[in-house]
Structures are given as C-alpha cells and as structure tokens.
Amino acid sequence: MRIVVCRAEDIAVLERFMPSHSVDGSHGARFARQEAGDSSYLIPWLDGLPVGHAEVRWTGCEAPEVRAVQPGCPELNGLFVWPASLRSRGIGTALVRAAEEQALARGTGLMGLGVGDDNPTAARLYARLGYRPTVPYVDRWAYLDVDGVRQECADPCVFLVKDLSSGPLDVKPA
C-alpha cells in the first residue's frame, strides 16, 4: 500500500469507489482546500485502487469550542477506510502516521482529531495511538439527500490531541 496526496485526476476515481454526499467533505471540496494550501488530502492506494482517505486540515477544526481551546492545532478529518473488509489491517493507523509525519515536516508539534460519542471503536484506536481527550464539541455538517435537498447534522464529539514532539512513531498504550 502507498499513501499519496490527492491529484486532480484522482477525484473521479474516488467518487466512483467512495461516493460522498457530504457538502464540505466531498472529494472535490477536500481537493479544493488542498489546492488553496489549507489542507493535505491523503489517499491510500492498494493494488491500483483507492481504499480510503484522510484530510489534514492545517486551518484546524471549524468548531468554535475547539478553536477557543486548541488554537492553531491542525485537524485530521474524514479518516475512512473502504471497503469495510479492509478495516483492522493497519490502513487507518498508516493514514494517521502519514498525517503526523506531514505535520512534523511543517514544524507543527500537535495533531488533533474529533471522534463521535457514538464511535467507541475509533476512539479506542486513537487512544492506542496516543491521542488524548481535550474538549467536547458539536460537529456541524451537511449532506445532500437523494432529492438534492441540503440536510443539516449535529454530532456530539470530543476533540483529541496528540503531542508529536516525541515523533510520529510513538505509540503509547491507551
């Protein structure tokens, strides 16, 4: 498997294998933020196919509750492995590592990410990788339903942060 930052020609392939209905989380929106210098959109490829994604948002989490407590902390957003049969094989961990390496290369000593209160399995993974809870917040996002009507969502989450000063390969027990 190799992890590569998204290229313009990847967007159609990503839409085909991992269609997204999220407005701000579409592949096109994520690529546009990368083009603007606001994020890095990381894609893992296996046997010539995309098998997930993760966006490092250098501008940080958009939630005001998080910005107040963690100003300047980049956010690892949209971590996803697909198809589900490929989960629990280390691809998610490799994406987190790649994001941490990018942060260190930019001289950024922190990485943050949000996890939903209803996602204890992902929270377990992040705890294992050294991420610690900081602040609860509400993740507000929107998607277009089958009729193309915008639907607003609000998910209770916790923002987790890792100090990268000891290096990206530092795995602490949860």
The minimum distance between CB 160 and ligand COA, in angstroms, equals 9
The least distance separating ligand COA from the CB of residue 144, rounded to whole angstroms, comes to 20
Between 8 and 116, CB nearer to ligand COA: 116
Distance CA 47, CA 65 (A): 41
Beta carbon of residue 141, minimum distance to ligand COA (angstroms, whole number): 12
Comparison of 79 and 164: residue with beta carbon closer to ligand COA: 79
Provide the token pair at 5: 């930052």
The residue (of 16 and 128) whose beta carbon lies closer to ligand COA is: 128
In the complex, what is the shortest distance from the CB of residue 26 to ligand COA, in angstroms, rounded to a whole number? 16
Applying CB under 6 A, the residues found at the interface with ligand COA are 79-81, 87-93, 115, 119, 121-122, 124-125
